[in-house]
Structure 1
Amino acid sequence: MRWQTELPLIAILRGITPEEAPQHVGAIIAAGFQAVEIPLNSPNWQQSIPAMVDRYGDKALIGAGTVTQPEQVVQLAQMGCKLIVTPNVNVGVIQRAVEYGMTVCPGCATATEAFAALDAGAQALKVFPSSAFGPEYIKALKAVLPDDVPVFAVGGVTPENLAQWLDAGCIGAGLGNDLYRAGQPLSRTEEQAQAFIHAYREAVK
């Protein structure tokens, strides 16, 4: 398996509004991000996601997070969404996303959940919440997973600790509150996006 973007960092913009999305997504992509997730518990995501697909779909993998129902996948596919991120392992969601040719990265915590997700067709895994388990746990989990499965750390990842998750065997990370909090100024988004890009490049030199 191969992750779809050269830079394996996913920007998680939980709580972003349709009015804020163009500037913040634009700033994140300008900093170097190639994957953006708008969770479905964000205000009016039905407007934000298709608008971002139309505006930035040729520059980045634009997707949805907190996807929990197969019916949502159908709706998102119709919007042109290319990335599905879930908080849990729902076989129906994974299979539907694969049917539509989407990249799906389900959340898992245990080896049982990880293999169930892979058996359903998931192309990547996110260990969530990573901060509750720690890098050593991910290292142990990676030892039993196929070598080519891209694993992302999600939850508690900062520019300061990104390297330790990569050292544990993660290909990259999903970045939430430390990158974007609902309502924060654009300058903060720009600053944190650049900090994460710098931290990643330093870690993989």
Structure 2
Amino acid sequence: MQPELNLPAPYTPHAGFVAAFAACRMVAIVRGIKPAEAAEHGRAIYEAGFRIIEVPLNSPSPLESIAALRATLPADALIGAGTVLSTERVRDVKAAGGELIVMPHADTEVILAAKLQGLACVPGVATPTEAFAALKCGADGLKMFPAEQLGPEVTKAWRAVIPTVVPLLPVGGVKPDNMGPQLAAGASGFGLGSALYKPGQDVAATRANALAFIAGWSETVRAQGAKA
């Protein structure tokens, strides 16, 4: 076993993110959800076992959905925004009750703005250079995006230099039955998109998809434990 490597800056993750991620290592991404339906779908996702829900800002009236989720769900749910592209939007998300900033890229100004506002931040990275620059600015985890291009071989190579304390979350193309290779390679969890939620689907479908992911995670972890 290789000795644990040191990061270029102290890693002091957001306490709320640490607790929510420990409870469930999958992030529910509800792109396209509308404010009027956010609470009901969010409740179904939470009751299935999820503790982190992300509303991308290219959804209809996303700040209203974030506010609705925060008002509806218990305090141990971490509600945040995805596709956050500017420092101004960081402030908007916080004002709506959001506690998490997720991005498709690794804009260091946005990361720093999130941390200065006391929010958790998981930026998107596609190279080790971006990953370490994001961590130096205080990123709480790293969104490996798009996961379709960053397969298990890349995750394994990254994990050789990125300490295991730092969450690596592949996002893109994740399904309940295909998480095994990435977990075996060193992924910490996943961001879930259209396989969990598609705009217009009913709450029953959201609940069924969420439960399928919880079951898929448990089965994957059990199978990998049996092989160890």
State the 1:4 CA deviation: 3.3
State the 1:203 CA deviation: 2.1
What SS is found at the alignment partner of 1:198?
helix
Question: Which residue number in structure 2 is paired with residue 110 of structure 1?
Answer: 127
Q: What do the CA deviations read for 1:89-139 (whole angstroms, capped 9, x no partner)?
A: 011110111112211000001001101100111010010011122111111
- TM-score (structure 1 length as normaliser): 0.96
Question: Which range is displaced more, 152-161 or 132-141?
Answer: 132-141
**Structure 2: how far apart are the matches of 1:28 and 1:49?**
14
Q: Which runs of 5+ in 1 are unaligned?
A: none
Q: Over aligned residue pairs, what C-alpha RMSD do you find?
A: 1.2
Question: Which residue number in structure 2 is paired with residue 4 of structure 1?
Answer: 19
Q: What do the CA deviations read for 1:161-188 (whole angstroms, capped 9, x no partner)?
A: 0122211111100000100011112221
**Structure 2: how far apart are the matches of 1:46 and 1:123?**
22
Contact 1:94 1:117 in 2 (8 A): yes
**Structure 1: how far apart are the matches of 2:169 and 2:137?**
18
**Structure 1: how far apart are the matches of 2:54 and 2:208?**
19
What SS is found at the alignment partner of 1:20?
helix
> Which of residues 175, 186, 193 in structure 1 aligns to 2:210?
193
Question: Which residue number in structure 1 is paired with residue 95 of structure 2?
Answer: 78
Contact 1:163 1:199 in 2 (8 A): no
Question: Which residue number in structure 1 is paired with residue 70 of structure 2?
Answer: 53
Q: What do the CA deviations read for 1:128-157 (whole angstroms, capped 9, x no partner)?
A: 011122111111111111231111010010
Structure index of larger Rg:
2
Flag as ranges the 4+ runs of structure 1 deviating above 4 A. none
- TM-score (structure 2 length as normaliser): 0.86
Question: Which residue number in structure 2 is paired with residue 65 of structure 1?
Answer: 82
Contact 2:63 2:92 in 1 (8 A): no
Is 1:97 matched up with 2:114? yes
Contact 2:141 2:167 in 1 (8 A): yes
> Which of residues 142, 148, 151 in structure 2 aligns to 1:134?
151
**Structure 2: how far apart are the matches of 1:20 and 1:163?**
32
Question: Which residue number in structure 2 is paired with residue 122 of structure 1?
Answer: 139
**Structure 2: how far apart are the matches of 1:64 and 1:46?**
8
Number of equivalent positions: 205
**Structure 2: how far apart are the matches of 1:48 and 1:71?**
18
What SS is found at the alignment partner of 1:50?
helix
Question: Which residue number in structure 2 is paired with residue 88 of structure 1?
Answer: 105
